[in-house]
Amino acid sequence: MVANPPLKDDVWELYNVDKDFSEADNLAASLPEKLKQLQEVFLQEAIRNHVLPIDDRRSERFNPALAGRPDLMGERKSLTVYDGMTGMMENAFINVKGVHHTITAEIEVSDANASGVIIAQAGYFGGWTLYLKNGRVHHEYNWFALERTNIAAPSALGPGKHTIVYEFIPDEAKPGTGGKSIITIDGKKAVEGHIPKTQPFAFSADEGADVGEDGETNVSPDYKQGDNKFTGHITRVTVEVK
């Protein structure tokens, strides 16, 4: 608010915030010259403080690729993470939202009852998780805690080393698109499903990606919050955007 603008006394009485403390009276029509003056001042300050161009988008601005701003990941298309890396926030993790990507996990299990989370991102109110339950490989996509898509391999893994690949192939090149959900184990397709829609702009403001567990709230109700550590060994997990 401009203090004591150079107006005639009678006009200033209308403009005084002591009389209109909530600025409920719209004076634009009755004071066009003052409106123009204030608009010019705003533009000068906007230029000086580097706020132009003004972006009136809301949720789209969470996604650097859509907002057109620098991304901490830069041009990186692949990220390899390891067991124990937890709490990786979205701006420090590969952006997989609605794009063609793969998650390749190299693991080793000692028996057919291995369980626990291999890798997960975000939590109860939206995210995704790749995990084992009673030896079977699962992937679950959690859409805002309102709709879940879970696919699972038909049989348990045998003891030994395995390479698990999860692939998402989008239906369309647009935010929120659905797509194919595929799990391949040791080079053979194990199961395929379809995710009807995905979260377009952000998973969570405070829950990151975790390897070897799903920290904080659980993406899937298929395992317990705070008790979901992977019982096998994780060599590495590579997330790659195609």
What CATH number should be reported for the domain holding residue 201?
2.60.120.200
Are 160 and 80 part of one and the same domain?
yes
Classify residue 152: in a domain, yes or no: yes
pLDDT tens by residue, the chain, 242 residues: 444 455 555 555 556 677 788 878 888 888 899 899 999 999 999 999 988 888 777 777 777 777 777 788 888 999 999 999 999 999 899 999 999 999 999 999 999 999 999 999 999 999 999 999 999 999 999 999 999 999 999 999 999 999 999 999 999 999 999 999 999 999 999 999 999 999 998 899 899 999 999 999 999 999 999 999 999 999 999 999 99
pLDDT for the residue 1: 44
| Residue 167 within a domain | yes
Number of domains in the chain: 2
Domain that holds residue 14: 9-48
Same domain, 194 and 237: yes
147 and 43 both lie in a single domain: no
Q: Does residue 133 lie in a domain region?
A: yes
Asked if residue 89 is part of any domain, the answer here is yes
Q: Are 26 and 102 part of one and the same domain?
A: no
Residue 104 resides in a domain: yes
Q: Given this model, what pLDDT does residue 8 score?
A: 54
215 and 123 part of one domain: yes
Query: Does 61 reside within a domain?
Result: no
Query: Where do we find the tokens 């634009």?
Result: 28
Please indicate, yes or no, whether the overall pTM of this predicted structure exceeds 0.85. Answer: no
Residues 192 and 81 in one domain: yes
191 lies in some domain: yes
Q: What does the block give as tokens for 218? A: 């659980």
Q: Within this chain, do residues 97 and 163 fall inside the same structural domain, yes or no?
A: yes
Residues 202 and 132 in one domain: yes
**Do 109 and 173 fall into the same domain?**
yes
Specify if 63 maps to a domain: no
